[in-house]
Amino acid sequence: MELYKKTASEIAEMIKSKEITSEEVTKHFLERINLLEDKIGAFSSVLEEKALESAKIYDNDNNEEKRKNYDNTSLFGVPVALKDNILSKGDLTTASSKILANYEGIYDATVVERLKKAGVPIVGKANMDEFAMGSSNENSAIKSVSNPWDLERVPGGSSGGSAAAVAAQMIPIALGTDTGGSIRQPACLTGTVGIKPTYGRVSRYGLMAFGSSLDQIGALAKSTEDLARIMKIIAGYDEKDPTTADVEVPDYLKSINNDIKGLRIGLPKEYFAEGLDKNIKEVVNKAVEQLKGLGAEIKEVSLPYVEYAISTYYIISSAEAASNLSRYDGVRYGVRKSDDSVEDMYVKSRSEGFGPEVKRRIMIGNYVLSSGFYDAYYKKASQVRRLIKDDFERVLTEVDIILTPTSPTAAFKKGEKNTDPVQMYLADIYTVSINMAGVPAICVPAGFVDGLPVGIQLIGNYFKEDLLFNASHKFEEVRGKIEYPEI
């Protein structure tokens, strides 16, 4: 049985009906990981024994009476991968950095706790750009990740391991994190579906912080229904994270099949200007026509301040990164590289522990926060961020959903942008503004350019993930099934 070709939702239903056991499914995907990991490099670590042990327990509890003891059993028994910056107790969690090479989680992140309470086995930690800083997954201190559609190309970043693992069908579903596009951009480049929820919808407790006002945990999968199922599990208020919102979480599965006739979709003219590959534009325009065919109403809108999004984002995120990463000093956290003077220990531990991109952002962050520059950079960026947020809030009173490209290009070749950080940063040009506004967005595959997948981005109002899932699911039905590459 080619079980790996099935979606997480299909597998969940098979386990529920006892057509297959969670242990059999988990074993099947662990074998896929062993078979393909050398080619893809999607995992930082694999938790084979733990995953099988959990699966056996869930199989014993797979009956009507015992399943009642679990919360939200929408993915009961279906194995999941975690991005390597999400803590799980007793498991290696390194953020793909040398500075955390030996670090094991001492508690479960809230999302992990909720997955376990929902009967979901965790198979391992997905590789990533170090501390989630990057758009290509070439910044991992462990190994670079390959795109399953073309092994010479990048899978996007920073959740490149999660995206590649799903696209290579090594795992049916994976958690990622999104600070400026780190779920949606790799979803676009690998032909997977990725959700960045509203800021505050999912707890960040147990997530290694990069940009605390921007980070959000989400997921990547092969179908929108899969994402609706996992969001049902991980979303919701958490008293351990004061930034989570005490807003009711709807049953996302109930609304995915709603008719989208009359749905107002806005196309921001700024996203279709110079810089967008003409072939990608054609794919996006075709998707717009398909949604129109489903009865959606299309309208041109304007988000004038998004032209400042990239510079604003890199000032704010780097400032927050410099602050958050100050704890990795060889004393509080991090591998200690010297026992000489305190200064020598700090310098050696951080110089040898952090990679070039992380150092670059720490230096940018410290610069924009320093005396004499704070007002000119950080304060000004915070003011522009407010204008960007106001733009989205205004447009989302005129339309229900905003539709844009997700990435200006399809997957690029490894090493192609490594010498030019600005070109690499521009890979996130269509995604960073969404994090600054705090609104939810989903990337759904829309077609192909030269054999490489391309996705569209659907952006919604605060806590309206259900509407995004609905539009994305209906679009998938007219787009047709995606056949993932055999590797």
Ranges of H-type helices in 399-464: 421-425, 432-437
Q: Is residue 484 part of a domain?
A: no
Contacts 24+ apart (CB under 8 A), 365-370: 365/318, 365/319, 365/320, 365/321, 365/322, 365/323, 366/322, 368/315, 368/318, 368/319, 369/319, 369/322, 369/323
H or E segment at 323? helix 309-324
Termini Cα distance of the chain: 17
Mean pLDDT over all residues of the chain? 95
Domain count, the chain: 2
Half-sphere exposure of 26 (CA within 13 A, CB side): 30
* 238 and 350, same domain (yes or no): no
Q: How far apart are the C-alpha atoms of 92 and 155, rounded to whole Å?
A: 23
182 is catalytic: yes
Kindly state the average pLDDT of the residues 393-399. Answer: 98
Q: Which of 162, 182, 203, 433 is catalytic?
A: 182
* Alpha carbon distance 335, 333 (integer Å): 7
Asked if residue 110 and residue 235 are part of one domain, the reply reads yes
Within-domain flag for 109 = yes
Q: Give the pLDDT confidence of 294-320 residue by residue, as tens digits.
A: 999 999 999 999 999 999 999 999 999
144 assigned to some structural domain: yes
Residue indicated by tokens 């596009």:
181
How is residue 317 written in tokens?
A: 């995120």
Please indicate, yes or no, whether residues 323 and 443 belong to a single structural domain of this protein: no
Share of the chain above pLDDT 90, in %: 89
- Specify the CATH number for the domain of residue 129: 3.90.1300.10
Is the model's pTM score more than 0.75? yes
Task: Check whether residue 372 and residue 427 sit in a common domain.
Answer: no
Looking at the fold, whether 32 and 179 belong to one and the same domain comes out as yes
- Residues 464, 338: one domain? no
Q: What does the pLDDT average to over 124-153?
A: 96
Pair 330, 369 in one domain = yes
Q: Is residue 352 part of a domain?
A: yes
Does the residue 433 lie in any domain? Answer: yes
Q: Does one domain contain both 216 and 251?
A: yes
Per-residue pLDDT tens for 198-248?
A: 999 999 999 999 999 999 999 999 999 999 999 999 999 999 999 999 999
What is the mean pLDDT of the segment spanning 455-475? 98
Q: Are both 125 and 222 inside the same structural domain? A: yes
Residue 300 lies in a domain: no
* Predicted pLDDT of residue 472: 98
Residue 203 pLDDT: 98
Question: What percent of the chain is modeled with pLDDT above 70?
Answer: 100
The pLDDT, as a whole number, for residue 371 is 85
State yes or no: pLDDT of 169 exceeds 90. Answer: yes
- All residues at 6 or more sequence positions from 352 whose CB lies less than 8 Å from its CB, including other chains: 98, 337
Q: Do residues 100 and 358 touch, judged by C-beta distance below 8 A?
A: no
Give me the domain span that covers residue 373.
307-379
pLDDT tens track for 344-387: 777 787 878 899 999 999 999 999 999 889 998 999 999 999 99
- How far apart (Å, rounded) are the C-alpha atoms in residues 318 and 325? 10
Is residue 250 domain-shared with residue 360, that is, in the same domain?
Answer: no
Give the residue-averaged pLDDT of 24-40.
Answer: 98
Listed residues 345, 379, 413: the one ending a domain: 379
For residue 299, tell me if it sits in a domain.
no
Average pLDDT over residues 51-73: 95
- Exactly one of 88, 158, 203, 433 is catalytic; name it: 158
Measured distance CA(179)–CA(196) in Å, rounded: 9
User: Do both 456 and 326 map to the same domain?
Assistant: no
Catalytic residue list contains 159:
no
Amino acid at 22: S
Of the three residues 329, 344, 379, the one that is the final residue of a domain is 379
398: in domain: no
pLDDT tens readout for residues 82-114: 999 999 999 999 999 999 998 999 999 999 999
From the candidates 6, 22, 83, 222, give the one annotated as an active-site residue. 83
Confirm whether 371 is a catalytic residue.
no
Query: What pLDDT score was predicted for residue 1?
Result: 63
Give the Cα separation of 462 and 13 in Å (integer): 31
Burial of 302 (0-12, 13-18, 19+ CB in 10 A): middle
Residue 219: beta bridge partners?
A: 175, 195
The mean-pLDDT minimum among 136-140, 270-274, 339-343, 349-353 falls in 339-343
Angle, alpha carbons 412-219-253 (nearest 5°) = 130
Residue 204 and residue 316 in one domain: no
